[in-house]
Amino acid sequence: MNKLSNKVALVTGASKGIGAGIARRLASDGAKVVVNYTTSEREAAALVTEIKAAGGTALSVRADVRNKSEVDALIQSTIARFGGLDIVVNNAGIYQFARIEDTTEELYRQQFDLNVLGPLLVAGAAVPHLGQGGSLINISSFVTRILPADSAIYSGTKGALDAITGVLSRELGPRGIRVNSVNPGLIETDGTHANGVMGSEFQTWNEQQTPLGRIGQVEEIAAIVSFLASGDAGWVSGEHIIASGGMR
Ligand code: NAP
* Residue 92 C-beta-side C-alpha neighbours within 13 Å: 32
User: In CATH, what number is assigned to the domain containing residue 49?
Assistant: 3.40.50.720
Gap between the Cα atoms of 179 and 92, Å rounded: 17
Average pLDDT over residues 178-198: 97
Ligand 1 atom showing the smallest separation from residue 65 Cα: 19
Is 244 part of any domain? no
Between the CA of 104 and the centroid of ligand 1 the distance, in Å, is: 21
Q: Is 82 a domain residue?
A: yes
Percent above pLDDT 90 for the chain? 99
Task: Report the C-alpha gap between 145 and 147 in whole angstroms.
Answer: 6
For the chain, the average pLDDT equals 98
DSSP H or E stretch at residue 158: helix 152-172
In this prediction, residue 248 carries a pLDDT of 87
Q: Is 145 in the pocket of ligand 1 (CB under 6 A)?
A: no
Examine the pLDDT at 1 and tell me if it is beyond 90: no
Residue 125 lies in a domain: yes
Residue 3 lies in a domain: no
Instruction: Pick the atom of ligand 1 nearest to 154's CA.
Output: 34
Per-residue DSSP letters for 17-62?
A: HHHHHHHHHHHHTT-EEEEEESS-HHHHHHHHHHHHHTT-EEEEEE
Residue 154 annotated to the active site: yes
Q: Based on the structure, what is the number of domains in the chain?
A: 1
Residue ID of nearest Cα to ligand 1 atom 13: 13
197, part of any domain: no
Domain that holds residue 114: 8-189+217-239
**For residue 22, which of 88, 81, 75, 105 has the smallest C-alpha distance?**
88
Q: Considering only CA atoms, which residue is closest to atom 7 of ligand 1?
A: 13
CA distance 247 to 209: 6
- The average pLDDT across 78-83 equals 98
pLDDT score recorded for residue 29: 98
Confidence check: pLDDT of 195 > 80: yes
Predicted pLDDT at 235:
98
Find out whether 207 and 102 touch, Cβ atoms under 8 Å.
no
Instruction: Look at residue 205 and tell me if it is in a domain.
Output: no
Mutual angle of helices 218-229 and 17-28, in 10-degree steps: 50
What separation in angstroms does the CA of 81 have from each of 45, 58, 59, 95? 16, 10, 9, 32
What tens digit of pLDDT does each residue of 133-181 get?
999 999 999 999 999 999 999 999 999 999 999 999 999 999 999 999 9
pLDDT recorded at residue 215? 98
In a domain, 247, yes or no: no
Ligand 1 close to Cβ of residue 56 (< 6 A): no
Determine if ligand 1 sits within 6 Å of the CB of residue 36: yes
Ligand 1 within 6 A of 221 CB?
Answer: no
- The per-residue b/e assignment along 94-122, b for 16 or more CB within 10 angstroms, e otherwise, is bbebbeeeeeeeebeebbbbbbbbbbbbb
pLDDT of 190 over the 90 cut:
yes
Residue 200 domain flag: no
Indicate which atom in ligand 1 lies nearest the CA of residue 41: 47
The whole-angstrom separation of Cα 206 and Cα 201 is 8
Query: How many H-runs (helices) and E-runs (strands) does the chain carry?
Result: 10, 9
**Nearest one of 83, 78, 79, 89 to 29, comparing CA atoms:** 89
Q: Indicate if ligand 1 lies below 6 Å from the C-beta of 189.
A: yes
- Give the CB-side neighbour count of residue 103, counting CA atoms within 13 A: 12
